[in-house]
Structures are given as structure tokens and as C-alpha cells.
Amino acid sequence: SLNRFVASGFKLQKAQLSPGSDEEDGHDTSGRETLGRIQFSVGYNFQESTLTVKIMKAQELPAKDFSGTSDPFVKIYLLPDKKNKLETKVKRKNLNPHWNETFLFEAQSLSSQEQKPNMTLFRSYLVGFPYEKVVQRVLYLQVLDYDRFSRNDPIGEVSIPLNKIDLTQMQTFWKELKPCSDGSVRYTFLTVFSVCYTVIITLGTL
């Protein structure tokens, strides 16, 4: 069965798991990578008017936990919309995770819903994610380290304008992760600085 999500007039479907490709796209592993890299594929189905994004795997992710590992997962956005997102499952204690999860983006106008066991199906008269709308979006992937008790730690990000690639068939990419540019890293630094500053003032008044 499919888990369906509705956001900003678009229906987001998380499809069943499927095997990923092991192609390296000619990647040169001789250089040392600090943030790792991610493999994903993207393509547009003109017959069904859907955009498919498949998150395959990541390699050589940095350790974010004291145990020397990470619990990575991926958030998926279609910019400029950052309010709504989809997420992969968390891979526990894994610096080379395999997800092999496929996501479908479809436009819809929500008109009714039908309850079924463990699933809610949304019915609509408007179907399809028009290609001319798709190419106006930027696929944005953010890899994070899951933390149950505090803020998730950002690992890195990848962004790719959809008007820059051939969407007529599924294209597979290996992309190097770049430092997150959404302020997450800076926010963490300021929080630590604030705590240190408070401690100094407290000690000074003793």
C-alpha cells in the first residue's frame, strides 16, 4: 500500500521500496570527502503527470554521534516550497546507508477523502503535476543525523534545478554533499556560544 501526503495543493506519495542502482557515474574516490555523497534518481512521467524522486543511498557520511557513527535520514523538498517535505526512514548507526525509497509528486485539488484500514485515500477531480510547473522547481535534498532528544544535526545538502536536467527518463546522480545553507549550522554555533557566555557571567559573580 502507499502512504499518501497532501500539502500546498500537491499530493505526495511515498511508494514501495525498490532496489537501487550501484552505478558510480564515474565518481573519483581518490579525493577525501568530508561530508560524503548521495545517490538519487529523478524523472517525469508524462503519461501520468507525476515527478518521481528516488533516494538510493549515501556514502562516507561524517560521524555526528559520540559513538563515532550517525543516524542519517533525508528530507526532500521542491523549492521554493520549504514548508512541506517528505522524509526517508532513519538508518541507525550507519555511515553508508541504503534507503531505496521512491517518492511520487502529483498535483491535486482535495475534494473528498475515504477511510480504509491504516490508510486515508484522498479523491480529487484534478490530477497531475504539469511539466511546466515541475521545471520551475528546485529539487532540494537535506541529509540529517536523527537525534531523539534534541535538534537533528544537519550533515549536508544537495540542490538541483529541474530545468537543468533531462526529465524524460529516470536520471541517476551521485552528488557531493555541501554544507547546509539554511542557517542550521550557524544556529547550533550561536546556541553553544550563548551557553558558554552565561557560564562565564555566572562564575564572575561568585
Domain ranges of the chain: 3-180
Average pLDDT along the chain: 74
CA within 13 Å, CB half, 145: 23
The dihedrals phi and psi of 7, each to the nearest 5 degrees, come to -160, 135
Least confident of 134-143, 148-157, 185-194: 185-194
Question: Which CATH class, in words, describes the domain spanning 3-180?
Answer: mainly beta
Model pTM?
Answer: 0.69
Q: Kindly report, residue by residue over 49-100, the tens digit of the pLDDT.
A: 999 999 999 999 999 888 889 999 999 999 998 888 899 999 999 999 999 9
pLDDT in the model for residue 84: 80
- Per-residue pLDDT tens digits for 13-44: 555 444 444 444 445 545 545 899 999 999 99
Q: What is the mean pLDDT of residues 177-195?
A: 51
